[in-house]
Chain A
Amino acid sequence: MSKRIFDLPGIDELNKDQKAVLRLKESGQHLVIGGPGTGKSVVALLRARKFHQKNNYLFLTFNHVLNSSTKQICGIDLKSDTAQSWFYTLQFKLAPGNDFDLKKMPHKVDSNGREIQHSPDYDRVIERFDSYVDQNSSHLPSTDTHFIIDEGQDLPVGFYESLQSLGYENFFIVADQNQQITEENSSRQELTDVLALENDEVVELNENYRNSSAIAKFAQHFYTDKAAPAPNLPDRASLDTPTFYIYQMVNSCVSMIHREAMRDTSKLIGVIVATETKRDSYTKFLSKATTGDDITVSSYSNESKQSVNIDFSMGGIVVLCDKSVKGIEFDTVFIVLDDLKVMNNDTDAIKKRLYVMSSRAKEKLFLLRSAAIPNEVEELLPTDEKLMIRDNI
């Protein structure tokens, strides 16, 4: 295994849009919109590095895996947290005395009047925050913090409004409307409005920064935003045109993943699966195959409630369910299609998941499907050989 850290971009690797983002004023409210791989997280991290010496910032991410990965590879002792756990703590700390009712986060309720877990009732939160401000509570935080928020579309508008009600006014949000994976999220327009920006003040990043063009074009095949222009097809098949392998034996897949990891131990190989069962089985198969090699196989489940135990600062193999991979990037990605199913004819939902999964790959992308188990998701894959090569192993 070899070390991998956030490679500071070369000046020639940043385009004018990204450089313009880096020149944005330190204070105030900023919204940066861009698709996967356009360098949103890179500019967010570079902004955090800018504030790091002054220590007056907080980097917030949506999920634990992204928070953990960002912290480990960023090259500084990043002040970061997941947005929701930080928000719950803030709400708790602001409540005066030992009033349990006030310390408990108010949640939304469903039609049966039951509280919806992890779904704060922001209107009530704002009421509370307003009252603390009116009372000039001694618990009120200093409001000069600069929030840098990655995947900002996954947080609802109420989250931002709550912070604004406390007097926070420095926000730098990077977001991609086409990557919304939560029920409660914010559209581009809502983010623009909540930050009181004019439309022309929103910075758009359009150039792909992460993926090779073949992978970016493949990912765009699943782009569900009907208003967006159709992607241009590549002129020719490329070496890194994603390959869809139909496999006879799962061992062939395991050997291929193992080989890829052995070839360059500094690379991070992502194996993305659809279910916990598949995550478990691939983790076991790969751990067995790599015994005695200098390769780590790690995994994490959102359901385990444990802290993320993956070392993103080292090369190796990481097996994750697709719901945990938002914002993470891998050098090579293997997507296991088995167990990925279209539910209630909602093909858009599957496309969105495939979009997120495939755009995690920087250099190489492989899709795997068992020959024994036909999968209707295959019908959603591109048929053009310039976009995806089909092969058997």
Chain B
Amino acid sequence: MATSTKAVWLLPTNIENLQMMLAQGLITDASGFVGSYYKDVLNECLGYISLFKNEVPGAALSLAKSEDPNLISCIIKVNLKDIILGDCIHTRCDIEDSFNADDLSPKASNSVPIPSLQGKKTTELDYESILIQAPLPLSCIEEVIYSSKADLDEFKNSSENLGNVSIKILKCKVDKKEFKTTVSSSDLFHNSFANIEHNPVEYSKTYSFGGLVSLSLYFSKNGEESARFFKSISAFTVDESYPLEYEWIYEYFFSNENDKFQKWNAILDVLNNNKKRNDIEYKNSIIEILNSSPKTQSIADFLTDYHRSKIEKSDTQIIEEFIDDYKKEPNKFKIQLFLFMLFYKDSVEKLIKYTHESFREEDYALLGMLFGMNSSFIGLPKWLIEYEGMHLYISTLMANYAHKQSNTGIQFKEPSNPLLLTDMLSPKKIEFIAWFGKNFDTNDCFETIIPNKDYQSVKGKKIYDGIIVPEYRILKGKFLNTMSATVIDDKSYSEICKKFRGK
């Protein structure tokens, strides 16, 4: 690339690592990979993402294929414009006094504010690579470069055959030249960069948070209360009016003082740590926790017998009994119902399809949070990830959560909030509401209010002077009953958004 042009930042990897990044929702160093990771530069400086200026060294490209020659390399062009706060380390190692003499760690003078790199020309930067503390959101991927059309096709085809790799957000191109490197150094970085200090990221909690917020966004379709939960959790806030169970989940993610719910936090630990899907292990771990205290042993016995098909009552009957119980004590912590649901419906998709006439709006919303947490972002169905704007929105939210929790000082620009159904159904959007009522069979979930004005009755018709604008109101109970039984997939959601925008 011409040296007088703007500097571009490149991350060489292979398509399998790229697919994993898309599935987990974040660009991370090797330690943040959820499944199998293939060696590349993300393993060179632990905790950091290494980016090369303008050209990728041959050694970095070779490293990306070092585990298997059949791996296909690719280069991610990284855009730094969404990083609004934070520093990176430049890796120039030929400057005198760049390293501390005692431990050879890079000096603070090696730090550069990331926003200051924005728009810099190649000639203005006298270093060849930078290290940014992981993770980065997927919005930092400007485009992905492949060395041949065959490689790009293989990437597309293999992604199509994976249940959780969505490539819709990617811009891809073929450019063989990018792979013909002139930088031949065999050492990618000075030894001192291998173990530079970094603030460890709690990846498990970050991915759980991503799953939780995604499901919270999905269930916001059920009504205003669910939408309020989503808005709060995605803004990292809590409100005193919220139910105990929300507080329990919120404190787990945002507070270290969990005394109030300490007894039950072990359950959230299980949901957080169990990242293998379709795994009985979370159920086993829950039983183990419940068995460890005489007070909860009876719950463990019940769930064990239920799992082994020994309970003769029907599932609906069991849930009715829990709900009757909670009606008698409205402020009771609904842990038993939630545990039962985690045993009864063991996947996000099954919860999404489940409806119970006695469930309240908050029950769906809170269960969604627990199930989302258990599945984690990578366990979400592809159609949900492909909700308009969801992939990038949740990725940025996870990245900001990770950096906030580990105090790295890095912050990313938040993408605009996804459109929520209840916001779209504002009383003034008459045409949209009418369309929604007709197309989603929800006419009886609304009522129409005609302003109290004088009219004349002509042949049975009410004639008003001037323009009368009626108002529509959601009938909350009916709306919840209908919407909780309606699965809004990515295509329906896109259709709704499109109609709302008037396109």
| Chain A interface (Cβ < 8 Å from any Cβ of B) | 7-16, 19-20, 22-25, 46, 49-50, 212, 214, 236, 238-240, 243, 255-256, 259-260, 262-264, 266, 362-364, 366, 393
Cα–Cα, bound, A256→B306 (Å) = 11
Interface contact B163-A9, CB-CB below 8 Å? yes
How many whole Å from B297's CB to the nearest CB in chain A? 15
B315 adjacent to A12 (CB under 8 Å): no
The CA-CA distance from A49 to B156 in the complex, in Å, is: 13
Given A10-B23, A23-B71, CB of A214 within 8 Å of CB of B378: no
8 A Cβ contacts from B297-354 to A: 304, 307-310, 312, 314-315, 344, 350
CB-nearest residue of chain B to A17:
B36
Partner of A214, one of B20, B157, B280, B350: B280
B36 engages A16 (CB within 8 Å) = yes
**Residue from the list A46, A238, A260 in contact with B309, Cβ < 8 A:** A260
Q: Is the beta-carbon distance between A262 and B307 smaller than 8 angstroms?
A: no
Q: Is the CB–CB distance between B284 and A239 below 8 Å?
A: yes
Is B287 in the interface zone, CB < 8 Å from A? Answer: yes
Number of residues on chain B facing chain A (CB within 8 A): 38
The CA of A19 and the CA of B154, in the complex, are separated in Å by: 13
A16: B residues at CB distance < 8 A: 36
Whether B162 contacts A23 by the Cβ 8 Å rule is no
Give A50 to B158 CA distance when docked, in angstroms. 8
Is B309's CB under 8 angstroms from A259's CB? yes
Tally inter-chain residue pairs, CB-CB below 8 A. Answer: 88
Task: List 5 A–B pairs whose Cβ atoms lie within 8 Å, in order of A's numbering.
Answer: A9-B162, A13-B277, A23-B70, A25-B70, A364-B309
A240 to B280: give the CA distance in the assembly, Å. 7
Residues of chain B lying within 8 A (CB to CB) of residue A240: 280, 307
Among A7, A20, A239, A366, which residue has the most Cβ atoms of chain B within 10 A?
A239
Cβ of B70 and Cβ of A20 under 8 Å apart? Answer: yes
* Chain A, Cβ-Cβ closest to B159: A11
Chain A residues, Cβ within 8 Å of B16:
11, 19
A11 touches B20 (CB 8 A): yes
Instruction: State the CA gap A41–B20 with chains docked (Å).
Output: 23
A12 B378 Cβ-Cβ under 8 A: yes
In the bound complex, do residue B280 and residue A212 qualify as a contact, i.e. CB atoms below 8 Å apart? yes
- Bound Cα distance A356, B294 (Å): 41
Q: How many angstroms from the CA of A10 to the CA of B34 in the assembled complex? A: 11
Q: Quick check: A11 and B165 within 8 Å, CB to CB?
A: yes
Contact check, A12 vs B34: say whether CB atoms are below 8 A apart: yes
Q: Which of B246-299 contact A (CB under 8 A)?
A: 275, 277-280, 283-284, 287
A10, B70: Cβ atoms closer than 8 Å? no
Q: How far is the CB of B453 from chain A (nearest CB, A)?
A: 51
Q: Are A243 and B277 interface neighbours, CB within 8 A?
A: no
Given A20-B70, A23-B71, A263-B315, A8 and B280 contact (CB-CB distance below 8 Å): no
With A14-B35, A262-B314, A263-B315 as contacts: A238 and B23 at CB distance below 8 Å: no
Cβ-based interface call for B137 (8 A): no
Looking at the assembled complex, report how far the CB atom of B239 sits from the nearest CB atom of chain A, in whole angstroms. Answer: 35
Report the bound CA distance from A14 to B277 in whole Å. Answer: 11
Which residues of chain A come closer than 8 Å to B307, judged between CB atoms? Answer: 239-240, 364
Q: Mark B28-48, 1 if CB is under 8 A from A, else 0.
A: 000000111000000000000
Contact with A along B49-84 (1 / 0, CB 8 A): 000000000000000000010110000000000000
Q: Which residue of B lies closest to A25 (CB)?
A: B70
In B429-449, which residues have CB < 8 Å from any A CB? none
On whether the beta carbons of A12 and B164 are closer than 8 Å, the reply is yes
* B379:A10 contact, CB within 8 angstroms: yes
Contacts of A9 in B (CB 8 A): 162-163
CB distance from A390 to the nearest CB of B (A): 12
A143 to B211: give the CA distance in the assembly, Å: 48
A7-B349 Cα distance, complex, nearest whole Å: 12
The smallest beta-carbon distance between A237 and chain B, in angstroms, is 9
Q: Is B484 an interface residue (CB 8 A)?
A: no
Q: Chain B's nearest CB lies how many Å from the CB of A46?
A: 5
Contact with A264, one of B34, B308, B350 (Cβ below 8 angstroms): B350
The answer on a CB contact under 8 Å between B23 and A12 is: yes
Q: Mark B394-413, 1 if CB is under 8 A from A, else 0.
A: 00000000000000000000
Could you say which of A7, A19, A49, A212 contacts B36, with CB atoms under 8 Å apart?
Answer: A19
Known A-B contacts A238-B280, A363-B280; A10 and B309 likewise in contact (beta carbons under 8 Å): no
Tell whether, in the assembled complex, residue A259 and residue B287 are in contact, meaning their CB atoms are under 8 Å apart: no
B68 near A20 with CB under 8 A, answer yes
Query: Hey, which chain B residues are within 8 Å of A8, CB to CB?
Result: 161-163
B311 → chain A, closest Cβ, in Å? 8
Contacts of B379 in A (CB 8 A): 10
Is the Cβ of B280 less than 8 Å from the Cβ of A23?
A: no
Contact with A along B14-34 (1 / 0, CB 8 A): 001001100110000000001
- Whether B309 contacts A11 by the Cβ 8 Å rule is no
Given A15-B36, A260-B309 in contact, is the A10-B280 Cβ separation under 8 Å? no
Decide: A11 and B23 in contact? CB cutoff 8 A.
Answer: yes
A20 vs B67: C-alpha distance when bound (angstroms): 10
Docked pose: A298 CA to B307 CA in angstroms: 25
Do A238 and B163 touch (CB < 8 A)? no
User: Given A238-B280, A239-B304, A243-B308 in contact, is the A11-B71 Cβ separation under 8 Å?
Assistant: no
- Chain B residues with Cβ below 8 Å from A264 are 350
Report B289 CB to chain A, min CB distance, Å: 13
Q: How many Å lie between the Cα of A263 and that of B161 in the bound state?
A: 30
Are A14 and B36 neighbours in the complex by a CB distance under 8 Å? Answer: yes
Contact of B308 with A10 in the complex, beta carbons under 8 Å = no
The CA of A214 and the CA of B158, in the complex, are separated in Å by 32
Chain B residues with CB under 8 Å of A14's CB are 35-36
Closest to B307 in A: A239
Cβ contact of A10, chosen from B163, B279, B312, cutoff 8 A = B163
Distance in angstroms between the alpha carbons of A49 and B163 in the assembled complex: 13
| Complex Cα gap A292–B77 (Å) | 60
CB distance from B306 to the nearest CB of A (A): 9
Complex CA distance for A24 and B69, rounded to whole angstroms: 11
Q: Within 8 Å CB of B158, what residues of A?
A: 22, 50
Cross-chain contact of A239 among B23, B164, B165, B287 (Cβ < 8 A): B287
CA A51 to CA B344, docked complex, whole Å: 38
Q: Of A236, A239, A255, which is within 8 A of B280 by CB?
A: A239
CA distance A137 to B307 in the complex (A): 62
In the bound assembly, the distance between CA atoms of A215 and B16 in angstroms comes to: 31
User: Closest CB of chain A to B381's CB: distance in Å?
Assistant: 9
**The one of A10, A239, A262, A366 that contacts B283, using a Cβ cutoff of 8 Å:** A239
- Among A16, A20, A24, A255: residue with most chain B CB under 10 A: A16
Given contacts A214-B280, A238-B280, A264-B350, contact A11 B162 (CB under 8 A): yes
Q: Could you tell me the distance in whole angstroms from the C-beta of A154 to the nearest C-beta in chain B?
A: 26
Instruction: Please name 19 further chain A to chain B contacts, defined as beta carbons within 8 Å, in addition to the given A239-B280, A239-B284, sorted by A numbering.
Output: A10-B277, A11-B164, A11-B165, A12-B277, A13-B278, A20-B68, A20-B70, A22-B158, A23-B71, A212-B279, A236-B284, A238-B284, A239-B304, A255-B312, A256-B309, A260-B309, A262-B314, A364-B309, A366-B309
**Cα A112 to Cα B376 with chains together (Å):** 66
B383 to chain A, nearest CB (A): 12
The closest CB in chain B to the CB of A16 belongs to B36
User: Is A50 a contact of B161 with CB atoms below 8 Å?
Assistant: yes
**In the complex, what distance in Å separates the CA atom of A236 from the CA atom of B280?**
13
Chain A CB within 10 Å, residue with most, of B24, B164, B287, B309 = B309
Closest A residue, CB atoms, query B23: A11
CB B393 to nearest CB in A, in angstroms, measures 21
